[in-house]
C-alpha cells in the first residue's frame, strides 16, 4: 500500500497545544523590522531610503494609512497598501474609566478574532497593556482569558498595532506613551518568536524607541523560555505570575506549575537576574481564603528572601463565572505588611478600569457571549 492510498486518519492537533496555532508572517508593515522592509523595497526596485521614510511615517508620525505618507510615490503607496497593510486591527469598541485615564479598546483582527488593549494614564507615565494571543492555553483558575482556551497566537504586527494605536490615543491627549506591559490576553512566552520580534520592533531607535527597561514581559512561568529570554541581550523587565508559595496550591491555580514547578521556576528566575542584572517582580493575585493567609504570606517571604525581586500584589478582579473573591482592604494590607515586615519589597496594584472589565480577557468574554446570544 502506498502512502497516498493509505486510509486517512484525521490527526487534528490538540486544540490547546501552544505550539500549533502559528500566526503566518508577515501580515502587514508592523510585522517587519526596518532591515526587512529595506530588503523588500530594494528587491521591488525602490531606493533603500524609501524604507526609512515609510518607517518614519509609521512610527514617528504614527500615520495610520498610506494615503497620509505624502512624500512617497503614489505607486509605492498603492503597492504597500495591498502587500503590507497597516490596518491589521479594527477598533470595535472603546470604553473609558477612571475619569478618562483608563481607555480600553476591543479590536477585531483580519480573521474576525477579538482582542483587548488597555491604555492607562498616570501622572508620571502612560502604560499600554498588550495582548499577545487570542485566548490562552495555560488556563489559570481565576483568569477570564484562561477560560477561552487558545484560539491563536497574535503576530508581532498585531501586537505592534496595539502599541501604535495606544501611542496615537496618548498623543491625542497630549501625552507620550512611556511603558509597554505584556499583561493582556495570552502567555507571551508561549508565543515566543512573535513576542521577541514585537519587542525588537518597538525597541528600534529609528522607530518607537521604547527602551528595554520600559517593556515588561509577564509570564505564568514557562521555564525554558525564561532561560532563553535571559540569553537575548534584551534586558526587559520580567514579571512572574507566582500566586502561591508552594507547588500544591500553585498547581491548582496555575496549571503549568505541574510541568514547571516552583523550584525550577525560581532557578530560571535567578539565572535571569544574574544574566540581566534586572530586578524581577512576582505577581500575586490575592484571593480570599485561597492564598491570603498570614501563614502563606510568611511562606512566600521565606521562599523569596535574598532575591533581587519585589512582589506586586494584585487584589483579584473577580470574574463572573468563577468562584474566586477579592479579600477586603484590611486583609490585603495585612498580607502586604507581613511580606514587608519580612524584608520583601511589596506593592499593591489595584487594577484600573474595573467598571469596564479591564482585567485581562473580561471585555472580550462579554462580547463573545453577546455575539453567541444574538
Residue positions annotated with a catalytic role = 116, 360
Minimum distance, C-beta of residue 137 to ligand SF4, in the bound complex (Å):
7
Among 31, 38, 187, 292, binds ligand SF4 (CB under 6 A): 187
68 vs 261, beta carbon nearer ligand SAH: 261
Among 51, 115, 138, 180, binds ligand SF4 (CB under 6 A): 138
- What are the φ and ψ backbone dihedral angles of 225, each rounded to 5 degrees? -80, -25
Minimum distance, C-beta of residue 146 to ligand SF4, in the bound complex (Å):
3
Among 30, 46, 107, 142, binds ligand SAH (CB under 6 A): 142
Among 158, 187, 194, 357, binds ligand SAH (CB under 6 A): 187
- d(C-alpha 211, C-alpha 260), whole Å: 30
- In the sheet that holds 126-129, the strands lie side by side as 89-97, 102-109, 114-121, 126-129, 179-182, 215-219, 237-241, 280-286, 309-315, 346-348
242 touches ligand SF4 (CB under 6 A): no
186 touches ligand SF4 (CB under 6 A): yes
Q: From 26-34, 136-144, 206-214, 329-337, give the range in contact with ligand SF4 by CB under 6 A.
A: 136-144
- d(C-alpha 137, C-alpha 331), whole Å: 31
Residue found under cell 502561591: 244
- d(C-alpha 39, C-alpha 33), whole Å: 10
Nearest alpha-carbon partner for 239 in 263, 273, 192: 273
Minimum distance, C-beta of residue 234 to ligand SF4, in the bound complex (Å):
21
Site for ligand SAH in 37-66 (CB under 6 A): none
At a CB cut-off of 8 Å and minimum separation 6, what does 112 contact? none
140 touches ligand SF4 (CB under 6 A): yes
User: Which pairs count as long-range contacts for 10-19, CB under 8 Å and 24+ apart, including other chains?
Assistant: 15/149, 15/150, 16/137, 16/139, 16/149, 16/150, 17/137, 18/137, 18/150, 18/187, 18/190, 18/191, 19/190
- Partner from ligand SAH, ligand SF4, none contacting 242, C-beta within 5 to 8 A by type: none
Minimum distance, C-beta of residue 98 to ligand SAH, in the bound complex (Å):
17
Site for ligand SAH in 257-296 (CB under 6 A): 283, 285
Nearest alpha-carbon partner for 163 in 216, 234, 111: 216
162 touches ligand SAH (CB under 6 A): no
Cα angle, residue 219 at apex, residues 62 and 229 outer, rounded to 5°: 80
Minimum distance, C-beta of residue 173 to ligand SAH, in the bound complex (Å):
25
- d(C-alpha 283, C-alpha 240), whole Å: 6
Query: If residue 106 lies in a helix (H) or strand (E), which one and from where to where?
Result: strand 102-109
Minimum distance, C-beta of residue 114 to ligand SAH, in the bound complex (Å):
16
Report the interface residues with ligand SF4, using CB under 6 A.
Answer: 136, 138-140, 143, 145-146, 186-187, 220, 241, 360
Which residues lie near ligand SAH (CB under 6 A)?
136, 140, 142-143, 183, 186-187, 218-220, 241, 283, 285, 314, 316-317, 319, 359-360
Amino acid at each position: 500500500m502506498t502512502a497516498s492510498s493509505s486510509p486517512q486518519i484525521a490527526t487534528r492537533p490538540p486544540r490547546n497545544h501552544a505550539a500549533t496555532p502559528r500566526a503566518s508572517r508577515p501580515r502587514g508593515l508592523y510585522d517587519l523590522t526596518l532591515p526587512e522592509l529595506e530588503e523588500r523595497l530594494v528587491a521591488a526596485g525602490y531606493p533603500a531610503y524609501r524604507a526609512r521614510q515609510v518607517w518614519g511615517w509609521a512610527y514617528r508620525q504614527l500615520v495610520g494609512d498610506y494615503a497620509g505618507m505624502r512624500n512617497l510615490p503614489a505607486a509605492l503607496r498603492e503597492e504597500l497598501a495591498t502587500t503590507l497593510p497597516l490596518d491589521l486591527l479594527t477598533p470595535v469598541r472603546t470604553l473609558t474609566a477612571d475619569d478618562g485615564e483608563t481607555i480600553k479598546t476591543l479590536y477585531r483582527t483580519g480573521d474576525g478574532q477579538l482582542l483587548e488593549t488597555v491604555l492607562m494614564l498616570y501622572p508620571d507615565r502612560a502604560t499600554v497593556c498588550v495582548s499577545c494571543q487570542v485566548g490562552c492555553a495555560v488556563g489559570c483558575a481565576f483568569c477570564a482569558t484562561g477560560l477561552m482556551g487558545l484560539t491563536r497566537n497574535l503576530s508581532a504586527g498585531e501586537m505592534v498595532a496595539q502599541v501604535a494605536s495606544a501611542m496615537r490615543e496618548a498623543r491625542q491627549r497630549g501625552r507620550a506613551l512611556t511603558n509597554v506591559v505584556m499583561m493582556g490576553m495570552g502567555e507571551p512566552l508561549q508565543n515566543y518568536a512573535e513576542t521577541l520580534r514585537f519587542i525588537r520592533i518597538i525597541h528600534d531607535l529609528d522607530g518607537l524607541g521604547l527602551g528595554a527597561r520600559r517593556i515588561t514581559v509577564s509570564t505564568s512561568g514557562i521555564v525554558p523560555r525564561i532561560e532563553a529570554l535571559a540569553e537575548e541581550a534584551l534586558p526587559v523587565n520580567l514579571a512572574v505570575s507566582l500566586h502561591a508559595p508552594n507547588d500544591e496550591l500553585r498547581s491548582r491555580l496555575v496549571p503549568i506549575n505541574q510541568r514547571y514547578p516552583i523550584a525550577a521556576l525560581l532557578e530560571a528566575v535567578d539565572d535571569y537576574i544574574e544574566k540581566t542584572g534586572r530586578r524581577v517582580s512576582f505577581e500575586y493575585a490575592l484571593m480570599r481564603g485561597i492564598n491570603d493567609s498570614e501563614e502563606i504570606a510568611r511562606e512566600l517571604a521565606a521562599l523569596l528572601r535574598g532575591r533581587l525581586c519585589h512582589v506586586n500584589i494584585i487584589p483579584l478582579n473577580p470574574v463572573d463565572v468563577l468562584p474566586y473573591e477579592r479579600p477586603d482592604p484590611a486583609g490585603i494590607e495585612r498580607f502586604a505588611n507581613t511580606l514587608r515586615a519580612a524584608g520583601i519589597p511589596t506593592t499593591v496594584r489595584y487594577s484600573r478600569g474595573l467598571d469596564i472589565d479591564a482585567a485581562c480577557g473580561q471585555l472580550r468574554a462579554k462580547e463573545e457571549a453577546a455575539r453567541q446570544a444574538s
